[in-house]
Amino acid sequence: MPKETVQDRVFRERLTSKLFADYNEAATRGAVLVARGEVAPLNPTEDRDAQIFVYNNVFFSFGADGVETFKTDGGDEAARVATGKDVVGVKAVNQLDVNGIFTPGTVVVDYLGKRIVGQSIVPGIFKQREPGEHQIDYGGVEGKDVVAANEKFTAPFAELSRAMKVKKHAVWDKEGKRHDLEASVETKGLIGTDGRNYVLDLYRITPLDIDWLEQYWKEIPKDGPPGDRAGSYPHRMAVLRPELVDVYWRKKLQDFVQERMDARKQANGSVEPIRESSDETQAQANEKSESNGAADPQQDRADKELPDGEEEPKTNGANEAKTNSVEGTKTDESKTVPTADGEDQKKEPEQHQIDVSDFQWCLNPDVYCGQAPQTDAEREEWERDEKEVRKVCKHLTEKVIPGLIEDLRAGDVGFPMDGQSLSSLLHKRGINMRYLGTIASLANQEEPRLQALKQLAIQEMIARGFKHVASKNLRHLPPPLAGACVAHLLNCLLGAELNDTPSAEMEKSLKELYSNADYEKYDDITPESLRNEVKRQISLRYRYELEGDWIQEGKHLQLLREIALKLGLQLTAREYMFTKTQVATNGTSTTDGLAAPTANGHSAGGSKKNKKRGSDKDSPNRGAVKSAPQMTFHPVDVQNIVPVLKEASPRSVLAEEAMEAGRMSLRQQDKELGQELLLESLSLHEQIYGILHPEVARVYYALSTLYYGLDEKNAAVELARKAVIVSERTLGVDSAETVLSYLNLGLFEHATGNTTVALKYVRHALELWKIVYGTKHPDSITTINNAAVMLQSIKQYKDSRVWFEASLAICKTVSGENHVNTATLLFQLAQALALERDSKGAVAKMREAHRIFEKELGKENVNTKESNLWLEQLVRSAVNVETQARNIQTRKTIATSRAARVGGTRLQPQAAAAQSTAVAGANAEGQQAATAGPSQADKRNLDQLLKYINGEEEKRTTPKKKTANPKRRQGASASSSS
């Protein structure tokens, strides 16, 4: 289709998006039927893993090594990984949209333990070729033994490889003949009968992670027994991620620019300020970073600056970086617009422009893959390629992974909420999931944030290890028995504390119907055997040894959620009891300790009478009377198992270009043009994807943050509402991105004055957060703090103080007692206590905050000085309050001493008033009134009289207290009868 004009591109991308959506749906439906055995194979006599299917014009095959293509690379494990990498490669090619290159529609579906690959049928792929004619036109035909190199593929493959940083290199066939290929020998080209050039098998677009393989992989001989391979990594398909290659490419480009700058300095003999490489290179870098930020909002830089007092609360975590990029434009503007002086802007590019057109850097994807160079020159070049790949591997383990750990420790990036956000964060940095064990080991420090990272990494490893165990048991099981199998495995993993000897439940009719099914394998699994197998999988795949309690206390629900997402489980929505303690308390324990904020200041718990009336129902004793469930999960709880999809649909380049142009205009202070481009980008996203699409939800999210930074608060609220609605319907109500969308919406509603509504959104987001991660997430400090500020703004000081205290408790756990963030929260808590008129408590908290500021930041720091001023004011206020209290006490004491001078005479109020008049210098009549006779004396004692003077009501004596002495009662009754 044409793509010369903008309208052509819009129509083309809209049609492409719809085409991919329809194909993915059809392929997924067909893959489910294939997995359930409802489609007849084209080759029924072959082994099950080697069978192929065609349904609805889609070609299906199993992600297993049915024809022993990957025999020496790990067999079925290698084939399974290769299919996933192939989808990544196809998606990258689709995104590049190179002229003259076409890809088949590709979908990978995981369902009932089986991995099924669905591909559109390439015209001519089943065509019988003439004798001596290869089935493949470019790349390896039969492994690496036969290589084809059709010249028709050279030009398009060269353009494709240049974009993917793949080096043109030589390979050799089994006869030692050299072939120069633009891509990996594993990547194949096929000329279809429709005349198009199709690219296939894109699972090797990056080199192998040779450092990992040399440590943990044991080679499989081509002939003979495999030998002792105990402890070996399951497969040899451990390749580097494309994101890592891009990261290293930018590093090499920076080194190249620095060398050119140094050479220019030496040539000119003067020291010149260093400028970025070129406008083109900088635009590419900005485009990369911004597109990543827009695609996944939860990975941006977390906000650690906590608001003060009555300030407007800041955005949570991911939002802050985006707001700063528009409000301040400090970071990016320093690169693109070095100075505010227009004259300098015109001169500096001419003086410091660096030509990077001759910069080239790429990798050979076929190194360490058994190629045999023939000449010395070829061997030397091959060795250089191998060294370059090793450098990238070293950069991953020595720079990228430790850098991520440090960023998470310092709070420079948003802390992941669940396994999905953790995977996204690692992939953006170019880190493979096989390094989860390395990350957990590096995070095993006393730093609380790193401890949280370690627990999250362990949880993700357990979920992935359990997925492999469950897939192995489900693979050859009839679909009607899958629910019983899943329920038993979940009982062995998550319900062992409730019942350490669970038994598999199965309907008698199903057992009779599938009497030949191999269900005994999972029936014999015990909690101990399952733990050992999961532990073995984690040791093999992630090189991490689990110790002690695997599941953190209170994290059973979060682990269940991770497993359900990975296996496609749909479970009954009910309260699951994982421990005996939950059964005893009837599952009503709370974990956050935060009361729900309300507009009128009353709690939502009801009156004391209602609480007392309903207390018997919730008592532990009554809960224990009920018959406790013998097992946590039952087969009926597994409502459905849905397919988990990996697809290759590209993003809209045109819409992202409009978004980037709008951002650039805002950075250059062109607000009108920037807003126009942003709205155009939104319109393009809606036209191309439709309204209900994850990419549209992310654009709503990004635009709401940008408009908030532009002080267009009403527009920001409207966009944030749409982001929440679309995120819930496309990503899920419990998605981490949905949680962030709710937090954004709450912030923007508060900014427009709808604080009561904002608090409801924040509370809802925290409830979702508790389901996704649990309590005490490191980034939840800012959210709880923001809610406390909102409560202060509507003068709910008591609730505000409770939320400040909760935020401070988490901050002490996460950051430590003497951290600056802790001091900031102590500062705000002191202000909240002052608003509650608790002067002593406010002084104590402010003094502690001042001590931390002075210790960590120094006496001259602004925060230290401000806290000192507040401390002086609070102390002065506390002294005034104490002085007033002492004056009142002094007056009471004087009144007491004057009353004591009367002697045994008890005074009536009127007489006391007359006496005070006499003391002030009244006449003798007042003194006589003060010494009235006994018939007018007050019967109250001195303490009761003081209470009356102070305005305190005297409590009436109850009848029970009057009749406390039984003998006295008897005497009274006797006298009355007589």
- What digits encode the pLDDT tens for the residues 802-837? 999 999 999 988 888 888 989 999 999 999 998 888
Q: What is the pLDDT of residue 450?
A: 92
Residue with tokens 């200041």: 601
Give the H or E element holding residue 107. Answer: strand 106-111
Q: What is the pLDDT of residue 971?
A: 44
- Is the model more confident about 861 or about 976? 861
Q: Is the pLDDT of residue 865 over 60?
A: yes
Q: Which pairing describes strands 106-111 and 58-62: parallel, antiparallel, or unpaired?
A: unpaired
- What digits encode the pLDDT tens for the residues 92-150? 999 999 998 999 999 999 999 999 999 999 998 877 777 777 788 899 887 778 888 88
Q: What is the pLDDT of residue 879?
A: 81
Q: What is the pLDDT of residue 840?
A: 84
Give the angle subtended at the CA of 426 by the CAs of 421 and 429, to the nearest 5°.
Answer: 130
The rounded radius of gyration (Å) of the Cα atoms in the chain is 37
The count of other CB atoms within 10 Å of the CB of residue 336 is: 16
- What digits encode the pLDDT tens for the residues 69-85? 888 888 999 999 999 99
Q: Which pairing describes strands 638-641 and 569-571: parallel, antiparallel, or unpaired?
A: antiparallel
Q: What is the pLDDT of residue 507?
A: 82
Q: Is the pLDDT of residue 182 over 70?
A: yes
8 Å CB contact between 382 and 366: no
8 Å CB contact between 587 and 577: yes
Q: What is the pLDDT of residue 899?
A: 59
Give the model's confidence band at 224: pLDDT under 50 very low, under 70 low, under 90 confident, else very high.
low
Q: Is the pLDDT of residue 761 over 80?
A: yes
C-alpha–C-alpha distance, residues 619 and 926, integer Å: 65
- What digits encode the pLDDT tens for the residues 342-388? 344 444 444 467 778 888 899 999 999 888 888 889 999 999 999 99
- What digits encode the pLDDT tens for the residues 677-725? 999 999 999 999 999 999 999 999 999 999 999 999 999 999 999 999 9
Secondary structure (3-state) at 816: coil
DSSP state of 139: E
The residues, ordered by sequence, that sit 6+ positions from 703 with a Cβ below 8 Å of its Cβ are 678, 681, 682, 719
Q: What is the pLDDT of residue 520?
A: 64
Mean pLDDT within 738-760: 95
Q: What is the pLDDT of residue 772?
A: 93
Mean pLDDT within 568-585: 88
Q: What is the pLDDT of residue 201?
A: 92
Secondary structure (3-state) at 945: helix
Q: What is the pLDDT of residue 260?
A: 86
Kindly tell me the sign of the dihedral angle through the C-alpha atoms of 211, 214, 216, 217: positive
8 Å CB contact between 648 and 505: no
CA distances from 901 to 904, 912, 939 (A): 9, 12, 17
Q: What is the token pair recorded at 262?
A: 């140094």
Which stretch of 273-287, 528-542, 823-837 has the lowest confidence by average pLDDT? 273-287
Q: What is the token pair recorded at 212?
A: 């990992």
Q: Is the pLDDT of residue 785 over 60?
A: yes
Q: What is the pLDDT of residue 405?
A: 95
- What digits encode the pLDDT tens for the residues 424-467? 999 999 999 999 999 999 999 888 899 999 999 999 999 999 99
Give the model's confidence band at 227: pLDDT under 50 very low, under 70 low, under 90 confident, else very high.
low
C-alpha–C-alpha distance, residues 273 and 328, integer Å: 24
Mean pLDDT within 926-945: 40
Q: What mean pLDDT value characterizes the chain?
A: 80
Q: What is the token pair recorded at 34?
A: 């294939």
* Percent of the chain residues topping a pLDDT of 90: 52
Q: What is the pLDDT of residue 963?
A: 44
The count of other CB atoms within 10 Å of the CB of residue 748 is: 27
Mean pLDDT within 243-263: 91
Mean pLDDT within 279-285: 42
Q: What is the pLDDT of residue 875?
A: 85
Q: What is the pLDDT of residue 209?
A: 95
Q: Is the pLDDT of residue 511 over 50?
A: yes
Q: What is the pLDDT of residue 225?
A: 60
Half-sphere exposure of 248 (CA within 13 A, CB side): 27
Q: Is the pLDDT of residue 244 over 60?
A: yes
- Is the model more confident about 283 or about 358? 358
8 Å CB contact between 385 and 749: no
Q: Is the pLDDT of residue 529 over 50?
A: yes
C-alpha–C-alpha distance, residues 660 and 331, integer Å: 16
* Percent of the chain residues topping a pLDDT of 70: 77
C-alpha–C-alpha distance, residues 548 and 566, integer Å: 25
Give the residue from 676, 751, 755 showing the smallest Cα distance to 717.
751
- Is the model more confident about 556 or about 302? 556
Per residue, the 3-state secondary structure of 213-277, as one string, reads HHHHCCCCCCCCCCCCCCCCCCCCCCECCHHHHHHHHHHHHHHHHHHHHHHHHHHHCCCCCCCCC
Mean pLDDT within 561-579: 94
Give the model's confidence band at 262: pLDDT under 50 very low, under 70 low, under 90 confident, else very high.
confident
Q: What is the pLDDT of residue 69?
A: 87
Strand partners, 147: 140
- Is the model more confident about 31 or about 907? 31
Give the model's confidence band at 269: pLDDT under 50 very low, under 70 low, under 90 confident, else very high.
low
Q: What is the pLDDT of residue 362?
A: 93
